[in-house]
Amino acid sequence: MAFLVRSSGAVVKDRETMEEILGTCGVSLELWPVQSTDRTAALLSRDSPGTEEVEEILSEQDRYFQKLREAHGYQTRDLVVVYPELPGLSAMLDRFRPIHYHEDDEVRYVVDGEGVFGFVLPDGDQVELLVEKGDFIRVPRLLEHWFRLTETRRIKAIRYFTGTAGWVPVYTGTPSLFSGETARTA
């Protein structure tokens, strides 16, 4: 289950309170059960599913894609797969750890594993949110945020796009109030 950590160290586990805090900066957090047959569960357990297997995983979750397409105009989706032995993992993660924003919304649906999104709130305070299997998150365009993995260094998330033009991180230079480790057991 997702939880939020304030820069003071206070932990928020109540979903309604988390949604209220995140709502101050326009972040949407929803819980969407991962649709899974025995076959897709097996595919999700693999570090690096093949192209056809990725399409099976995506197709299994397409009822959500249809909902997003109708409500928000998302046109494409893909599956990002991250695991400890992924070539170039450190360099990839280094791009998203500094505080940045995008010119387009960042939309993720976690279907396996976990990660941490951090956000700069309107009052300048910062929070970190642990997301895991079943969490759907929409980070609005231009919101200062960051992303990192937990110690498991594993996540599979469906990314939804209206286009790809706004996907380059724009670094703001805002310093993080976090040391980089949100307690997994909070």
Q: What is the pLDDT of residues 88-132, one digit of tens each?
A: 999 999 999 999 999 999 999 999 999 999 999 999 999 999 999
- Annotated binding residue 102: yes
Confidence of residue 176 (pLDDT cuts 50, 70, 90): very high
Write down the pLDDT at residue 182: 55
Confidence of residue 164 (pLDDT cuts 50, 70, 90): low
| Range with the poorest average pLDDT among 35-39, 91-95, 138-142, 176-180 | 176-180
Q: What is the pTM of this model?
A: 0.93
Q: 51 Cβ partners below 8 Å, 6+ apart?
A: none
- Annotated binding residue 70: no
d(CA 127, CA 12): 10
- Annotated binding residue 72: no
pLDDT digits over 62-93, tens only? 999 999 999 999 999 999 999 999 999 999 99
Fold for domain 3-171? Jelly Rolls (2.60.120)
- Annotated binding residue 145: yes
In this structure, are strands 126-132 and 106-120 parallel, antiparallel, or unpaired?
Answer: antiparallel
If DSSP codes are grouped into helix, strand and coil, which group holds residue 155? strand
Which amino acid does the sequence have at 40?
T
Write down the pLDDT at residue 185: 45
Predicted confidence (pLDDT) at residue 186 exceeds the cutoff of 70: no
Q: 160 Cβ partners below 8 Å, 6+ apart?
A: 65, 68, 74, 76, 77, 107, 108, 109
